[in-house]
């Protein structure tokens, strides 16, 4: 991850990198997409992905990532939502490309 972050910093695409990390973590934790119901098991999977995302996030983005995670939990995406990449429309709304 540190190599990808260094590359993103060089090319001034850190926001895209941050979104990409979330996509990777969601694919690991939620391989079938966003759950229809956030029961305890699914809430744990979502929390694991979002917590790991926050942990991998550069310090300058932590506040934005924290807010984006809150939005995903308070206004969940449609069941089955699965971003295919960092340019997913919903992810771009949560974390627009303006660099922090």
* Domain annotation covers residue 99: no
Q: Give the contacts of 5 (CB within 8 A, at least 6 positions apart).
A: 14, 17, 58
**Which residue, chain included where needed, has tokens 């260094």?**
6
Q: Indicate left, alpha or beta for 12 from its phi (over 0: left) and psi (-120 to 50: alpha).
A: left
Contact between 69 and 53 (Cβ < 8 Å): yes
* Domain annotation covers residue 83: yes
Measured between alpha carbons, how far is 62 from 53 in angstroms, rounded to an integer? 9
Q: What is the mean pLDDT of residues 25-54?
A: 96
> pLDDT for 40-62, tens place per residue?
999 999 999 999 999 999 999 99
**Residue 36 pLDDT > 80:** yes
* Domain annotation covers residue 27: yes
- pLDDT-derived band of residue 4, with 50, 70 and 90 as boundaries? confident
Split into its structural domains, the chain has a count of: 1
DSSP label at residue 77: P
* Domain annotation covers residue 100: no
Look at residue 79 in the predicted model and tell me its pLDDT. 97
**pTM score, whole prediction:** 0.90
Range of the domain at 26: 2-94
* Domain annotation covers residue 89: yes
* Domain annotation covers residue 55: yes
């Amino acid at each position: 991850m540190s190599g990808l972050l260094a590359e993103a910093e060089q090319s001034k695409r850190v926001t895209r990198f941050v979104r990409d990390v979330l996509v990777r973590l969601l694919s690991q934790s939620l391989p079938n997409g966003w759950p229809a119901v956030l029961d305890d098991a699914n809430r744990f999977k979502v929390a694991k992905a979002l917590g790991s995302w926050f942990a991998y996030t550069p310090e300058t983005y932590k506040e934005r990532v924290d807010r984006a995670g809150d939005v995903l939990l308070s206004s969940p995406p449609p069941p089955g939502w699965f971003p295919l990449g960092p340019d997913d429309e919903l992810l771009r709304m949560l974390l627009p490309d303006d660099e922090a």
